């Protein structure tokens, strides 16, 4: 331990001296912290079906190793099984609280999204590469940075206060967040004791902007489903039958066109859109970060922040129909579209799913058979932590960044957060950014 930070001169955690000592410690170790992150990025930790399970397991082992030297009393490597399915491997590390000191749970996840089209990457997605002060690679932010943030915070705490600081600590590093945390409720049920905490810090959201920290206090929910249109029991020749019969793609397109109002708001009836924010989301930021083509009209009404955080959003994310390469002179008899919705706080996914189904079935489909198949659902979330804890977190973030922290909503969804709220209604849940990530 650094002599100036020995037990006799341990700084008061609420003082500038403490903030400065933490900053100094992080500065001194920054390079090795980034190296740890880069090493973690090399694991192709995909929980999606069809990917190498061994890589996901290796990633979990590496995570366990990363928490093996931070003074934990126990580390668990956990999977759940049900119906022949196995969950992504999770790591739980714990240090028991001394006396009646509180316990803080630190959450992040080690699984990542598939890399998609490799040609669209400038550099290898599995090699963290620095470009203009940013680190590029799959998981460099979401959410391997979250894991390293937690590890680094515990190391700094140990360094400044000694490992006997007394605070109860639990890290929970999930292995299946990107596939919608299908086993999360079961994890909570089976390991409730391991996971119970007074405060839960989720490091899986983004900052407001570069250098501007954010505490996320609402998350959108999500749901998806498939709309299927059938006009005949087999494809028929357009020369013989074309004219009186519209093809399934045309009717599907007409249904899709009715899912939004002319303004671009979701047209489905009965959506609870009663929550609003005062935050101002800069339109040019939105345009530059999303890469919209020049002249594209932004959809929907109300402030941009409300459209991103509070109102319902609906997109078509895939279509099954005859591909152009196989197109022939026949009338396509069936077509399917997958839709994905983001739900504002207050919207109940099951209810919205029913509203979408009723709405789609009420549309004029020229008598075609229309089915709506529900898919995944995740609830939206609003933080209901006590004001004192939120203030403390905001002050800490502001001190650390040297820039005032703001409360934001988040357009993305983290379905397990709703499960956490349900399992631990009395815990304070705080959502913070992964390392230095920007606004999206």
Which pair of structure tokens corresponds to residue 354? 């029913």
Which pair of structure tokens corresponds to residue 63? 């995570």
If one asks whether residue 143 binds Zn ion (CB under 5 A), the answer comes out as: yes
**Min. distance of Cβ 378 from Zn ion in angstroms?**
13
Whose tokens are 């029913």? That residue is 354
**Min. distance of Cβ 38 from Zn ion in angstroms?**
18
| Closer residue to Zn ion in complex, CB, 143/265 | 143
Task: Map 378-418 to HEC letters.
Answer: ECCEECCCCHHHHHHHHHHHHHHHCCCCEEEEECCCCHHHH
**Min. distance of Cβ 111 from Zn ion in angstroms?**
9
| Closer residue to Zn ion in complex, CB, 143/224 | 143
If one asks whether residue 174 binds Zn ion (CB under 5 A), the answer comes out as: no
> Which residue in 80, 142, 247, 431 binds Zn ion (CB under 5 A)?
142
If one asks whether residue 204 binds Zn ion (CB under 5 A), the answer comes out as: yes
The region of 96-104, 199-207, 258-266, 351-359 touching Zn ion under the rule CB under 5 A is: 199-207
**Min. distance of Cβ 414 from Zn ion in angstroms?**
7
For 132: left if phi > 0, alpha if psi spans -120 to 50, otherwise beta; the answer is: left
Cα–Cα dist 250/248, whole Å: 6
**Min. distance of Cβ 176 from Zn ion in angstroms?**
11
Report the residue number whose CB is nearest to Zn ion: 143
User: DSSP character for 212?
Assistant: B
If one asks whether residue 265 binds Zn ion (CB under 5 A), the answer comes out as: no
| Closer residue to Zn ion in complex, CB, 135/337 | 135
Helix or strand run (H / E) with residue 25: helix 16-41
Task: Give the CA distances from residue 60 to residues 50, 63, 90, in Å, rounded to whole numbers and listed in that order.
Answer: 18, 5, 7
**Min. distance of Cβ 125 from Zn ion in angstroms?**
16
| Closer residue to Zn ion in complex, CB, 142/224 | 142
**Min. distance of Cβ 283 from Zn ion in angstroms?**
26
Number of residues that bind Zn ion (CB under 5 A): 3
Whose tokens are 């196989």? That residue is 326
Task: Map 92-131 to HEC letters.
Answer: EEEECCCCCCCEEEEEEECCECCCCCHHHCCCCCCCCEEE
| Closer residue to Zn ion in complex, CB, 22/147 | 147
Q: How far is CA 247 from the centre of its chain?
A: 38
| Closer residue to Zn ion in complex, CB, 204/247 | 204
The distance in angstroms from the start CA to the end CA of the chain is: 39
The region of 59-67, 168-176, 204-212, 338-346 touching Zn ion under the rule CB under 5 A is: 204-212
Applying CB under 5 A, which residues contact Zn ion? 142-143, 204
């Amino acid at each position: 331990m650094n002599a100036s930070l020995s037990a006799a001169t341990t700084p008061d955690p609420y003082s500038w001296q403490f903030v400065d000592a933490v900053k100094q410690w992080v500065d001194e170790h920054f390079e090795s912290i980034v190296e740890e992150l880069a090493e973690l990025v090399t694991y192709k930790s995909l929980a999606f079906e069809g990917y190498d399970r061994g890589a996901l397991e290796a990633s979990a082992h590496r995570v366990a190793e990363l928490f093996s030297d931070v003074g934990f009393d126990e580390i668990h490597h956990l999977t759940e099984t049900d119906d022949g399915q196995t969950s992504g491997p999770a790591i739980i590390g714990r240090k028991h609280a001394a006396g009646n000191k509180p316990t803080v749970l630190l959450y992040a996840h080690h699984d990542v999204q598939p890399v998609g089209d490799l040609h669209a990457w400038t550099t290898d997605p599995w090699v963290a590469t620095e470009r203009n002060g940013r680190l590029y690679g799959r998981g460099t932010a979401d959410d391997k940075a979250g894991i390293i943030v937690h590890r680094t915070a515990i190391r700094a705490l140990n360094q400044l206060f000694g490992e006997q600081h007394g605070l109860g600590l639990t890290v929970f590093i999930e292995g299946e967040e990107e596939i919608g945390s299908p086993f999360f409720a079961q994890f909570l049920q089976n390991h409730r004791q391991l996971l119970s905490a007074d405060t839960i810090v989720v490091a899986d959201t983004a900052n407001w902007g570069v250098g501007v920290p954010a505490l996320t206090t609402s998350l959108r929910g999500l749901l998806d489903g498939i709309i299927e249109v059938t006009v005949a029991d087999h494809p028929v020749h357009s020369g013989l039958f074309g004219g009186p019969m519209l093809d399934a793609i045309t009717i599907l397109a007409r249904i899709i066109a009715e899912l939004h109002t002319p303004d671009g708001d979701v047209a489905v009836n009965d959506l609870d859109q009663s929550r609003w924010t005062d935050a101002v989301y800069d339109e040019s930021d939105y345009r530059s970060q999303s890469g919209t083509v020049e002249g594209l009209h932004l959809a929907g009404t109300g402030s941009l922040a409300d459209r991103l955080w509070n109102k319902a959003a609906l997109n078509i994310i895939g279509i099954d129909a005859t591909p152009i390469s196989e197109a022939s002179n026949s009338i396509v008899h069936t077509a399917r579209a997958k839709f994905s919705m983001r739900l504002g706080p207050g919207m109940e996914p099951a209810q919205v799913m029913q509203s979408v189904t009723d709405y789609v079935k009420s549309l004029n489909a020229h008598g075609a058979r229309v089915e709506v198949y529900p898919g995944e659902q995740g609830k939206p979330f609003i933080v209901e932590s006590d004001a004192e804890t939120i203030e403390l977190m905001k002050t800490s973030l502001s001190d650390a960044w040297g820039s005032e922290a703001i409360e934001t909503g988040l357009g993305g969804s983290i379905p397990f957060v709703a499960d956490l709220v349900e399992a631990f209604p009395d815990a304070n849940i705080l959502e913070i950014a992964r390392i230095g990530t920007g606004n999206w």
